[in-house]
Each structure stands twice: as structure tokens, then as C-alpha cells.
Structure 1
Amino acid sequence: MDLYLKFVLVGFSIALPIGAISVEMTKQGLKNGFLHGWAVGIGGMTIDLLLILALYFGLAEILSLPYVQIPLWIIGAGFLFMLAYDSIKNADRDITLAGEKVNKSLVITYRNGLLVAISPGNLVFWVSVFGVVLADSYSQTNSSSFIVAALGILTGILLHDIGLLSIVSVTRKIMNRTMIKWTSIIAGILLFGFACYFLYEFYLDIKFYIN
């Protein structure tokens, strides 16, 4: 239990900094409610779970190879540019105020969470940071401790998501359509910024390996 609680705190702490997933969750939460924001978070956690399984089955070395990571900068940037464009272009669409019926599909918002999470930043984070932590837990005791640590981390991320979306749900009740529209535009700009950062990292990696 102590090991589990320890990694719950680790997962919660790591999820606190604002990232692309948090931006997309907030946007969807404001436009379509708690469940749609949470669908984005679950999409991101799906990728996290797959990466944990990859680490568990010894694929960390493959995931850390430069020719595996470098293309992901472009892929991640492409997905974020697409989401940023959609967020800005459709800022005044699909807005459901508190109390109104939501027509947007949860599958679409879940897919957005998957797309945002497929990024080298997320990959490198799991391999370099959590990979070391989880591998250490695995090597020191046994595979069951690895699983407990991984579940603790995912629980911490889940608690962060629920807390963030609870705040968003309360805020949504006092926001009108225009305010939510501009929030979507700002979210699109932030996602565009993350995409540009991915391109910059791609450029630095290519430059490093060429030289």
C-alpha cells in the first residue's frame, strides 16, 4: 500500500504542469461538459498504459532509439497542428452550455486525447523518467511491485484529470457562449505553440545527428 500511495503522488505531481493534454481537456470540458473532457484524459491515459506495457515487456531500448523518436516529433506536430486548426476554426461550433444536451460524440474527443498523447515528449518522459523509476521498482522486488507502481502512477494522473475537470465544470456554469468561444481560440493557439515546439525539437535532433 505504501508503494501504491507513493506512486499515486508521483503520478499526480507529474500531471500538474500544463501540457497539450490539459489544454485539450479544458477546451472540451468547457465546450461539451465533464465527460467529454474526461474522454480526452482517458485517451491520453490509454497511450500511457501502452507505454507502461512496452516498458514492462522490455521495449524501452527500442523506444529510446533516435530513429524511432525523431519521426515522432513530426507526427506529434502534425496531430497538434490539426487539433489547433480545428480548435480555432470551429471555436464557435459544438458549444453546449450547462444544462443543454450534448450532441458531440465521446469517441471523437477520446480520439483527440489519443492524438495529443502520441508525442515524443510523452514517449521520452516515460522512457527516461518513469522508465527508470518503474524499472527500479521491478528490479528491486518483483514484477508485482512494477504493476503496483504503474497503477499508482495512472491513479495519480486520473485524480489530476478529475480534479481539473471538476473545476472546469464549475467554471462552465458561469460562462456564456462568447467566453467559451474565446477559450477555444486560446486553446488552439496554445496547441499551435506546442506543435511548433515539436518541430523545433525535430530540427535540433536532426541537426545533432547530421553534425
Structure 2
Amino acid sequence: MEIYLKFLLIGLAIALPVGAITVEMTKQGLKNGFLHGWAVGLGGMTIDFALIIFMVLGFASILSLPLIQIPLWIIGAGFLAYLGYDSIKNADKDITPADEKTKKSFWSTYRNGLLVAVSPGNLVFWVSVFGAVLSESYTSSNKGSFAIAAIGVLSGILIHDVGLLSIVSVTRKVMSRKMIRGVSVFAGILLIGFSIYFVYEFILALWQYIS
């Protein structure tokens, strides 16, 4: 129980800072409601869960290789730039009033969550934090400590997502279409900003690798 609570708090801590996933969740939550905002979060958690499986299977050393991590910076930048451009271009589209049922596909927003979560920062977190926990679990008498830690982090992320989207759902009811459109444009600008940062990190990592 102690391990679970410890890593639940870690999950909350890593989810609280405003990142690309939070931006996309908030935008989709305002435009199409709680379920679509949560779809983005579920997409992100799917990537997290996949990384956990890779860790359990012993791929941590492969995932930490520069040849694996460096390309992910530019791939992530491309995905975020696309989502940012799309957010600005279609800022006035796919806005569903709070009292109407959205026609937007759940799976399209889930896909956005998958794209945003393809982040080297996300990969590095799982490799660094859970690499240590995994090695410890193999030498300790409690073989399930890694699984408990992983569930704790995912629970923390889930609590953050549900809490954030609950606030967004309430806020959405008092926001006009023009205000939601403005948020969508701002979200697009932020996503493009994250993509530029990813390009910078790609250049930096590549320079360090070839130096």
C-alpha cells in the first residue's frame, strides 16, 4: 500500500504541470465535452501502459538508447505541429454546445491523445523512474512491487485527468462559442510551441551524439 500511494503521488506530480496532453485534453473537453477530453487522456495512458509492458519485458536498455530516443524528438515535433495547425485552422469547427450531443468521433480524439503522447520526455520518465523500481523488484521478496508502482502512477494520472475534465465540463457551460474558439487557437499556439521545443531538443541531442 505504501508503494502504491507513493507512486500515485508521483503520477499526480507528473500530470499537474501543463503539457501537450493537458492542452489537448482541455481543448477537446471545451469543444466536445467530458468524454472527448477524457479520450485524449486515455490515448496518453495507452502509451504509458505500452511503455510499462516494454519495461516488464526488459526493453528498458533499448528504449534508453540515443538511436531510439533522438528520432522520437522529431517525430513528436511533427505530430504536435500537425495538431497545433489543425487546432488553429479548425478553431471554429467541431464546437458542440453543452446542451447538444457531439457528432465528433470518440476514436478521433483518442488518436490525438496517442499522437501527443509520443514524447521522448514521457519515454525517459518511464525508463529512468521505473528502471530503478524494476531492478529492485527483481532482487526483493516482493515481486509485484513494479506492477503496484505502475498502477499507482497510472491511478495518479487518471485522478488528474478526471479532476481537470470535471472543471472543464463545468466551465464549458458558461463559455460562449467565441471564447471556446479563442481557447482552441491558444491551444494550437501552445502545441506548436511544444513542437518547436522538441525540434530544439532533437538538434541538441543529435549534436551531442555526433560530437
Classify the TM-score, shorter chain: over 0.9
TM-superposed CA distance for 1:119, in Å, is 1.4
Q: State the identity as a percent.
A: 69
Provide the C-alpha distance between the structure 1 equivalents of 2:191 and 2:46, rounded to a whole number of angstroms. Answer: 20
TM-superposed CA distance for 1:139, in Å, is 3.6
TM-superposed CA distance for 1:137, in Å, is 4.4
Whether the 8 Å CA contact 1:137–1:149 is kept in 2: the answer is no
Asked if residue 63 in structure 1 is aligned to residue 63 in structure 2, the reply is yes
Whether the 8 Å CA contact 1:138–1:145 is kept in 2: the answer is no
TM-superposed CA distance for 1:132, in Å, is 2.5
Asked if residue 123 in structure 1 is aligned to residue 123 in structure 2, the reply is yes
TM-superposed CA distance for 1:8, in Å, is 1.2
Asked if residue 210 in structure 1 is aligned to residue 210 in structure 2, the reply is yes
Residues 151 and 57 of structure 1: CA distance in aligned 2, closer, same or farther (over 3 Å): same
How many equivalent residue pairs?
211
Provide the C-alpha distance between the structure 2 equivalents of 1:25 and 1:97, rounded to a whole number of angstroms. Answer: 17
Provide the C-alpha distance between the structure 2 equivalents of 1:89 and 1:184, rounded to a whole number of angstroms. Answer: 9
CA RMSD of aligned residues (A): 1.2
Q: Which whole-Å deviations, capped at 9, do the CAs of 1:98-134 have from their partners, x for residues lacking one?
A: 1111000000000000000011111112112333344
Asked if residue 98 in structure 1 is aligned to residue 84 in structure 2, the reply is no
Provide the C-alpha distance between the structure 2 equivalents of 1:22 and 1:2, rounded to a whole number of angstroms. Answer: 28
Whether the 8 Å CA contact 1:77–1:195 is kept in 2: the answer is yes
Which residue in 2 is equivalent to 1:2? 2
- Say which is worse superposed, 34-43 or 126-135, in terms of deviation: 126-135
Residues 3 and 93 of structure 1: CA distance in aligned 2, closer, same or farther (over 3 Å): same
Code of the aligned partner of 1:17: P
Which residue in 2 is equivalent to 1:172? 172
Secondary structure of 1:115's aligned partner: helix
How do 1:25-104 and structure 2 match up within 5 A?
25-104=25-104
Provide the C-alpha distance between the structure 2 equivalents of 1:107 and 1:148, rounded to a whole number of angstroms. Answer: 29
Whether the 8 Å CA contact 1:15–1:157 is kept in 2: the answer is yes
TM-superposed CA distance for 1:138, in Å, is 4.8
TM-superposed CA distance for 1:209, in Å, is 1.8
Provide the C-alpha distance between the structure 2 equivalents of 1:96 and 1:179, rounded to a whole number of angstroms. Answer: 13
Provide the C-alpha distance between the structure 1 equivalents of 2:189 and 2:13, rounded to a whole number of angstroms. Answer: 25
TM-superposed CA distance for 1:77, in Å, is 0.5
Q: Which whole-Å deviations, capped at 9, do the CAs of 1:142-173 have from their partners, x for residues lacking one?
A: 33111111111101100000000011011101
Whether the 8 Å CA contact 2:7–2:152 is kept in 1: the answer is yes
- Say which is worse superposed, 181-190 or 12-21, in terms of deviation: 12-21
TM-superposed CA distance for 1:200, in Å, is 0.2
Provide the C-alpha distance between the structure 1 equivalents of 2:156 and 2:137, rounded to a whole number of angstroms. Answer: 17
Provide the C-alpha distance between the structure 1 equivalents of 2:209 and 2:2, rounded to a whole number of angstroms. Answer: 43
Deviating 4+ runs (over 4 angstroms): none
Whether the 8 Å CA contact 1:38–1:165 is kept in 2: the answer is yes
Provide the C-alpha distance between the structure 2 equivalents of 1:134 and 1:149, rounded to a whole number of angstroms. Answer: 9
Gaps of 5+ in 2: none
Q: Which whole-Å deviations, capped at 9, do the CAs of 1:71-119 have from their partners, x for residues lacking one?
A: 1111101100110010000000000111111000000000000000011
Which residue in 2 is equivalent to 1:14? 14
Whether the 8 Å CA contact 1:76–1:195 is kept in 2: the answer is yes
Which residue in 2 is equivalent to 1:184? 184
Whether the 8 Å CA contact 2:80–2:192 is kept in 1: the answer is yes
